[in-house]
Amino acid sequence: MAKLTGELEQAFNQQVTLELEASMVYRQLGIEMDVLDLPGIASWFRAQADEEVVHANKFIDHMTDRGAHPRIQAIEAVTASAGSVLEAFQASLAHEEKVSEAIRGLYRLAQKQGDIDALPLLNWFIDEQLEEEAMVSELIGKVRLIDDDGPGLLRLDEELGARESHGTEADAE
């Protein structure tokens, strides 16, 4: 495997930081749902936060395997807030879209530089991001259908609370 250097190494470091930022956004959204007394949805957001750390680790492992030195950069203050479940999932989708575009940019850069060793990892992330955006979009649809129906919201809270989290050091599925 060729050593990862230069502009692509810098871009990978930015992606590591963005993945960790995504984790913080999800943690904050989980807090927002705890404040709304929706522990299942809060738990779902915490599981998402853990998954983002796993994603950062995938980039870190790729970098170290290729002789690069991963460096976490400054993470912006998390400003995610949500007064409702719909707002929380909309904030989630907006952040997933930001991450997706960053990964597409990494893919374009790897192609431009002829770095074929990065492409399998980036292909995995492209698929993962499509899945993430579709899942959050579906949840937004469900929340819109529920509207302000308390029993419906409690059912969604129970459903999302059943999701298992594998922690931050597990391999992403």
Range of the domain at 132: 6-161
Euclidean distance between CA atoms 156 and 38, whole angstroms: 9
Residue 83: inside a domain: yes
CB 96 within 8 A of CB 18: no
> What's the pLDDT at 2?
86
Helix (H) or strand (E) holding 98: helix 85-112
Residue 172: inside a domain: no
Residue 57 CB coordination number (10 Å): 19
Residue 116: inside a domain: yes
Number of domain units in the chain: 1
For 116, which DSSP code?
Answer: T
pLDDT in tens, the chain (173 residues): 789 889 999 999 999 999 999 999 999 999 999 999 999 999 999 999 999 999 999 999 999 999 999 999 998 877 777 889 999 999 999 999 999 999 999 999 999 999 999 999 999 999 999 999 999 999 999 999 998 789 999 999 999 998 777 665 555 44
Residue 91: inside a domain: yes
CB 28 within 8 A of CB 81: yes
For 67, which DSSP code?
Answer: T
Residue 14: inside a domain: yes
Indicate the pTM of the whole model: 0.90
CATH code assigned at 70:
1.20.1260.10
Residue 166: inside a domain: no
> What's the pLDDT at 38?
95
Residue 67: inside a domain: yes
Residue 150: inside a domain: yes
